[in-house]
Copies of this chain bind each other. A is one copy, B any other.
Amino acid sequence: MDYFSLSESPLFRGLTSAELRTVLQETPHHIQCYEKGELIFMQMDDARQVGIILEGQVQGQKTFPNGSLVNVSSRGPGNVIGPAAVFSRMHQYPCDVTAVEPSTIMMLRRDDLLVLLQKDVRILQNFITEISTTTVMLQQKIELFSYNGIGQKAAFWLLLRYRKTGKTCVAIPGSVTKWALQMNVSRPSLHRELKKMEENGYIRYSSKQIEILSPDGLQDMLGE
């Protein structure tokens, strides 16, 4: 069993491989493999365990009575799946989680994780940081959603990246299509708006990448 990649997980940051090995030997857990497309957690299921992705890629998706799905969020190796669901008062998973490629997941039951957290302050700290960071990102997403215009949403999104990375070149998440999906707007509309921003000289837009020419211009778009 290869625990090495785990030491790069946000949850175990700061621990040596040896420490990690020790701590995990003392903590009940099991490792589970999933094939591409297999269901890992099911929407509304009783949330008893968190997963830590060792290998592969998983995706959350909310299915609706009528069949359509939304809210696609994606996680890769090292990420923790479902902590909020497990520890929240309603403890049920808010959406389906499926493997988008063959994946290996380490499963930890709630109480075992709790014990683990008490065992090592660094893990505790990492865990809390993890949930808190998620919370902050959600807050940002809400802020994103609460802008009225598509132009504003896009500008806000670009400014976030810009501030975070400091670089004026921002990669589009996957494709414009996916980006539009994430922001919950229609693709043609987003495209329309991007072109407008380009005409105004705020950005340069070549599919797959956007260069921010005028952060101030974008900022102005937000302040109505």
Contacts and interface: CB of A to CB of B under 8 A. Distances in A.
B88 A129 contact: yes
Interface residues of A, number: 44
A180 interface: no
Interface stretch (A28-36, A141-149, A201-209): A141-149
A133 interface: yes
A174 interface: no
Interface string A121-150: 100110111011111101111110110000
A224 interface: yes
B139 A139 contact: no
Where chain A touches its partner, the secondary structure class is: helix
Contacts of A167: none
A62 interface: yes
A140 B133 CA distance: 17
B143 A145 contact: no
12 contacts: A65-B222, A70-B146, A84-B131, A84-B132, A84-B136, A86-B132, A87-B128, A89-B136, A131-B132, A138-B139, A142-B145, A145-B146
